[in-house]
Amino acid sequence: MTEDNLLKKWLNEELTDAEKQAFSKRDDYALNREIIENAKHFKASKFSKIDDFNDFKNKYHNPIKIKSNKWIKPLLRIAAILLISFGIYTTFFNNDIIVKRTLASEKTTISLPDLSQVTLNAESEINYDSDLWNSKRSINLKGEAYFKVAKGKTFDVITQSGVVTVVGTEFNVKARDNYFEVICYEGIVKVVSDTITKQLLAGDMYRILNNTFSEDRVNASKPSWTNNRSRFKAVPLKKVIDELERQFNIKVSFKDTDTTRLFTGGFTHNNLKNALSAITQPMNLSFKISSSNQVLIHGNTD
């Protein structure tokens, strides 16, 4: 029996048991059943004409194309890819945060968008948003920097230990581990740190060292480190050596040495031996430099 005759008998419910079994194994059996089941949900119009078998066969072999919503999933997938791509572009290519940093024994001067200048000491970093600079002059600092600020809107230097606010002036900010110091060289500087708020004039120094606040006066017109010389007044030896390590890119260890002793003096950045001598001799200490730039400072024994 041909397939068309078998289909015709199935539609007319004239199949024998053997023919039903054979028809159910056909590849198009499931499709035929689905067509018939769906047709039961529709009522024929009173003006419609019932198709004969030949018309049904023609429609079966040339089915009307039904729009599918399978396109939705690919479209959603494409939209998701575009959204992720836009996020990546925004993050990596439309980022206006400018970052400048220095390594050990390195200093550099940076010009800001308003022609203000920042000189970074060794192992220091600043970052700021160039896109917002005209409306908000704000810069984040880690380490030490000397600022020459052009007159204009308020200029903020933000550190972990406090905020320094100026309009147009010259000042130095040191924001190291447990060491926050601001020195005003020109103009007026406002410093806010924790519960302490101070206004500094030219020559004023503001310091929080190991959680202890102090004030002092300086006579210099700019920080000495910008001329390759570090100077200290009543600073613990460990903090002095920390600066020595940054300027010469070395590592210092101690033996029989009280690193909390206060040091007043300075050292130059162009000769390691001379710098070590300038620190150790006034404190009756000795030093030894190894070939790998390791330095040992030890106390003198009688």
**74 is written with which tokens?**
């690919």
Amino acid at 163: V
In angstroms, the CA 150 to CA 112 distance is 10
The token duo for 226 is 């910008």
Distance from chain centroid for Cα 133:
18
C-alpha–C-alpha distance, residues 192 and 187, integer Å? 17
- Which two three-digit tokens encode residue 301? 């024994």
Q: Which pLDDT tens digit goes with each residue over 230-259?
A: 999 999 999 999 999 999 999 999 999 999
Task: List per-block mean pLDDT (blocks of 10 residues) for the chain, which spans 302 residues.
Answer: 62 70 67 60 45 52 53 64 58 73 97 97 97 95 98 96 95 97 97 92 96 94 97 97 97 96 97 97 96 90 60
Q: 6-17: per-residue pLDDT in tens?
A: 666 666 777 677
CA 162 to chain centre: 21
178, 203 contact by CB (below 8 A): no
Model pTM score: 0.69
Q: Is 284 left (phi over 0), alpha (psi -120 to 50) or beta?
A: left
Contact of 234 with 216, CB cutoff 8 Å: no
How many Å apart are CA 21 and CA 293, to the nearest integer? 92
Domains and CATH numbers, the chain: 3-61 (no CATH), 97-227 (2.60.120.1440), 229-302 (3.55.50.30)
Measured distance CA(262)–CA(259) in Å, rounded: 8
